[in-house]
């Protein structure tokens, strides 16, 4: 057992929507005591998305606190292959999620931050800890790093960016209380 805080491995989805809503700084605040990383395949997804989604440039240009980790060890590539067989279709969709899960699985104590339901179901029987974005934000509220009004505003902005979250505009606090997360 190590005393180091866990590393967080971020997926393209949360990064993209936090960037679009201009809330990347909140992720930095929430994760400031942790190693934060993305697999190289997520960086490539972000880079390829910039021509159609210019807000993604901020993910590459304004996040020196995020470490890019190449997936190049045998264990990483084996884990990636496992997830790719379950998640990646002919269009190549979900390759980023596979990279996040592979990196989290092969990094001791790491936590994958993924909101995709299918991807989170693919970890059954695998040694991966997954945290959803809203759960992470609720933990930050309980830790005194964020406030309910701030996260409510953030959630409303994520909704405007078309991020799929389980409530409508203004519904964060009621949802979080109903879930027992506050």
Q: What pLDDT is recorded for position 55? A: 94
| Cα 54–Cα 87–Cα 105 angle in degrees, nearest 5 | 90
Reduced DSSP (H G I as helix, E B as strand, rest coil) percent helix, strand, coil of the chain, to 5: 50, 10, 40
Successive 10-residue mean pLDDT values, the chain, 182 residues: 83 94 94 96 96 95 96 97 92 91 96 91 92 95 96 96 92 95 89
Residues of the chain with CATH 3.40.50.1010: 8-131
Distances (CA, A) of 141 to 53, 151, 170: 30, 8, 17
Q: For residue 146, give the nearest of 24, 36, 30, 6 by alpha carbon.
A: 30
For 8-131, CATH gives 3.40.50.1010
Q: How far apart are CA 151 and CA 169, in angstroms?
A: 12
Look up residue 4 and give its DSSP letter: S
Tell me the C-alpha distance between 97 and 92, whole Å: 11
Name the one residue in this structure whose structure tokens are 């997830």: 83
Q: Do residues 103 and 95 make contact, with C-beta atoms less than 8 angstroms apart?
A: no
| Residue of 141, 112, 108, 80 whose CA lies nearest to 13 | 112
Can you give 132-175 as a three-state secondary structure string? CHHHHHHHHHHCCCCCHHHHHHHHHHHHHCCCCCCCCCCCHHHH
Short-list 3, 37, 42, CA closest to 106? 37
> What pLDDT does residue 117 have?
87
Q: Based on the number of CB atoms within 10 Å of its own CB, is 164 exposed (0-12), middle (13-18) or buried (19 or more)?
A: exposed
* Residue 2: per-residue pLDDT: 60
């Amino acid at each position: 057992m190590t005393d180091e805080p866990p590393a967080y491995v971020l997926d393209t989805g949360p990064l993209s929507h936090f960037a679009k809503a201009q809330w990347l700084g909140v992720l930095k605040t929430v994760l400031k005591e942790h190693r934060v990383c993305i697999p190289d395949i997520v960086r490539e997804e972000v880079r390829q998305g910039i021509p159609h989604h210019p807000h993604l440039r901020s993910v590459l240009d304004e996040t020196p606190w995020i470490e890019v980790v190449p997936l190049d060890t045998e264990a990483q590539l084996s884990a990636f292959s496992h997830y790719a067989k379950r998640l990646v279709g002919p269009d190549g969709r979900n390759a980023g999620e596979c990279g996040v899960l592979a990196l989290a699985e092969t990094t001791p104590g790491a936590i994958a931050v993924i909101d995709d339901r299918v991807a989170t179901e693919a970890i059954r029987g695998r040694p991966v800890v997954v945290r959803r974005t809203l759960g992470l934000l609720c933990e930050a509220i309980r830790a005194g790093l964020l406030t309910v009004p701030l996260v409510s505003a953030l959630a409303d902005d994520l909704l405007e960016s078309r991020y799929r979250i389980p409530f409508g505009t203004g519904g964060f606090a009621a949802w979080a209380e109903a879930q027992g997360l506050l």
